[in-house]
Chain A
């Protein structure tokens, strides 16, 4: 299995620009999670989906952040407009609905907003 795929791996953008991060979960996984990791705040859950439906977005920092999952094999996290404080590593993870509930993480996207 290919594992969770994220793109791009690195993104550098200027403040005010729109940023779109992409994720392809493991085939057959029903849940998809978006996390943000920073030195100050550690790992934070932003939002998660079950069967393409957003279930809990309470971790999304503000309206500048939005996430979609148009089908079972693709999700996006969009930041518009971006700000320097959004600089972080963003991880996508997925897991099955049944079984042992472990999440499988992608390699992450390192976002730098200047």
Chain B
């Protein structure tokens, strides 16, 4: 069955340090890929998306993600983390073969040390 894996449940980084959140998916073909962020008590906000073309995509709040077909990965990165980035991050996949549905990873909680 299709799945989305975020192997890190929690990550703690120091403010100003770089960040990489991992995401792997198991689909036969390239799906549509998304990263969402959820602050405490809030809904999910779209950070960025990939459909085709350039495998490095830029998003809001200084985030970027790189699609690597050979590794079935779509990792999220930020060069310098701010305290306000502390939140939960979800990778999601939408593949037409499985209906018009988003399949979410379990999420990664980011803590930022000052």
Judged by a CB distance under 8 angstroms, whether B34 is at the interface is: yes
> Interface digits, A24-53 against B, CB 8 Å rule (1 contact, 0 not)?
000000010100000000110100101000
A8–chain B nearest beta-carbon distance, Å: 14
A50 to B99 alpha-carbon distance, docked (Å): 11
Q: CB-CB < 8 A to B107: which residues of A?
A: 42-43
> Interface digits, B24-49 against A, CB 8 Å rule (1 contact, 0 not)?
00000000101010000011111001
Which residues on A are within 8 Å of B, measured CB to CB? 4, 31, 33, 42-43, 45, 48, 50, 55-56, 91, 93, 100-108
A55 to B99 alpha-carbon distance, docked (Å): 9
The 4 closest A-B pairs by CB, nearest first: A105-B43, A105-B44, A43-B104, A107-B43
22 contacts between A and B (CB under 8 A): A4-B43, A33-B101, A33-B102, A42-B104, A42-B106, A42-B107, A43-B104, A43-B107, A48-B101, A50-B100, A55-B99, A91-B44, A100-B49, A100-B51, A101-B51, A101-B100, A102-B49, A103-B102, A105-B43, A105-B45, A107-B43, A108-B42
Q: How many residues of B contact A (CB 8 A)?
A: 19
Partner of A102, one of B46, B101, B104: B46
Judged by a CB distance under 8 angstroms, whether B89 is at the interface is: no
Q: Which secondary structure dominates chain A's binding surface?
A: strand
CB–CB A101/B32 < 8 A: yes
Interface contact tally, CB-CB below 8 A:
45
A55 to B83 alpha-carbon distance, docked (Å): 41
Q: CB-CB < 8 A to A4: which residues of B?
A: 43
With both beta carbons as reference points, the residue of chain A lying nearest to B43 in the complex is identified as: A105
Q: CB-CB < 8 A to A43: which residues of B?
A: 90, 104, 107
A67 to B94 alpha-carbon distance, docked (Å): 23
A38–chain B nearest beta-carbon distance, Å: 12
CB–CB A91/B34 < 8 A: no
A84–chain B nearest beta-carbon distance, Å: 21
Partner of A55, one of B45, B51, B100: B100
A93 to B36 alpha-carbon distance, docked (Å): 13
